[in-house]
Amino acid sequence: MKNRTFILLFAIMASVAVVLSACGGNESSNKDNAAANESESEDYSVAIVTDEGGVDDKSFNQSSWEGLKAWGEEQGLSKGNGFDYAQSSDESDYLPNLTRLTRDGYNLIFGVGFLLQDAVTKVAEQNPDTNYAIIDTVVEAPNVASITFAEHEGSFLAGVAAAMKTKTDKLGFIGGVDSDLINKFEAGFEAGAKSVNPDIEVDIQYVGNFSSAADGKLIATRMYENDTDIIYHAAGAAGNGVFAQAKDLKQNDPDREIWVIGVDRDQHEEGKIGEHNVTFTSMVKRVDLSVQEVSDMGAKDAFPGGEVLEFGLVDDGVSLAKTNEEAMSDDIISAVDEWKEKITNGDVTVPKTRDELKEFEESL
């Protein structure tokens, strides 16, 4: 009897030891895996190269940098130690900046804007072991991820809102560089406005660059003098001049109905002038989230090299800001939401080009 009891106790103790050993092993394994994941994130580094608008353009480049900072901070990294940016003054800086960051050993480098297409194409071919991403255009290379947005869809909603808000039935569009990309903003905006009122006038002007706020202000001055009461800009830092002119006019005549539609990020803060705000709304592109997402994919060894990623209305990759609650009335928001549903359901196909816009207008 004593022998049987001893054997039973021995068996129980042995079983407990095995279980404890297994638990200890799993805990150790989990710690090792966590450490490995943490090490992987710490070892992965990301940088961006801005276009000529600069990292503080209050628009496209700034949104990209904010996305990268958010990613870096999530990983416990700091500027210059895991993530960074290189600022370009003009196109001659694009390739040198990309090359320098490549030599510095960054695992993933973003070219912010379609203007960097040629430079990214060249540096990616020369450095096949480095990953690159290009925003707003496509580079066909196995080590490049191309990030695009359905800007025409978001701009359509901006046009709907503007057509319902205008008192003069005269709208303005100021683009940076006359190009396929900015034409998407233009076509979508005009299509949205004319879907509400086919007789509305839309004055289209281009700055010729994304950096000259002075030129943006000059064009806005002429538009506002011609009774345009809402201007939508897709001009990067040049768009700061549009805000400057609208605020000058509002300061001189606080009762005047005058508005700017911002772009890329919510530019509500840019429109503040005393107790007023000239930012009607903004067509927001979540460039920040796209930078975070692709950086995450790279850090997890799932970089989408050779792929074209598009962010649109259906996944909130583009949207219309509702920050100015006084300006964005309930009826405007309701109409915008209705048109959004029509687009995401496939009932409305938003034009991307001027030719497609003509066909769209003929169908109204």
Q: Could you list the mean pLDDT of each consecutive 10-residue stretch along the chain, which spans 364 residues?
A: 37 40 45 44 88 88 96 96 96 97 98 96 98 97 98 98 98 97 98 98 97 97 98 96 98 97 96 97 96 97 97 94 96 98 97 98 93
Domain carrying residue 52: 45-149+290-295
Distances (CA, A) of 43 to 62, 71, 111, 146, 178: 25, 14, 21, 23, 40
| 212: phi then psi, degrees, rounded to nearest 5 | -90, 95
Contact 113, 60 (CB under 8 A): yes
CATH of the domain at 135: 3.40.50.2300
Cα separation, 364 vs 351, whole angstroms: 13
List the beta bridge partners of residue 273: 276
Contact 106, 132 (CB under 8 A): no
Count Cβ atoms below 10 Å from residue 345 Cβ, excluding itself: 9
**What separation, in Å, do the N-terminal and C-terminal C-alpha atoms of the chain show?**
97
Tell which of 295, 318, 337 closes a domain: 295
Same domain, 141 and 169: no
- Write down the pLDDT at residue 59: 86
- Write down the pLDDT at residue 22: 43
- Write down the pLDDT at residue 42: 58
- Write down the pLDDT at residue 30: 45
| Token couple for 282 | 């903004």
In a domain, 264, yes or no: yes
Same domain, 129 and 264: no
Cα separation, 92 vs 297, whole angstroms: 30
Same domain, 78 and 110: yes
In a domain, 84, yes or no: yes
Same domain, 144 and 160: no
Cα separation, 237 vs 209, whole angstroms: 9
Same domain, 253 and 132: no
Query: With the CA atoms of 133, 139, 143 and 144 taken in that order, what torsion angle do they form, in degrees rounded to the nearest 10?
Result: 20
| Token couple for 227 | 């009774």
Same domain, 157 and 51: no
Q: How many residues does the chain have?
A: 364
Same domain, 172 and 55: no
Classify residue 316 as left (phi > 0), alpha (psi -120 to 50) or beta: left
pTM reported for the whole predicted model: 0.83
- 3-class SS string, 305-347: CCCEEEECHHHCCEEECCCCCCCCCHHHHHHHHHHHHHHHCCC
Count up the domains in the chain and report the number. Answer: 2
Tell which of 241, 269, 295 closes a domain: 295
Count Cβ atoms below 10 Å from residue 305 Cβ, excluding itself: 17
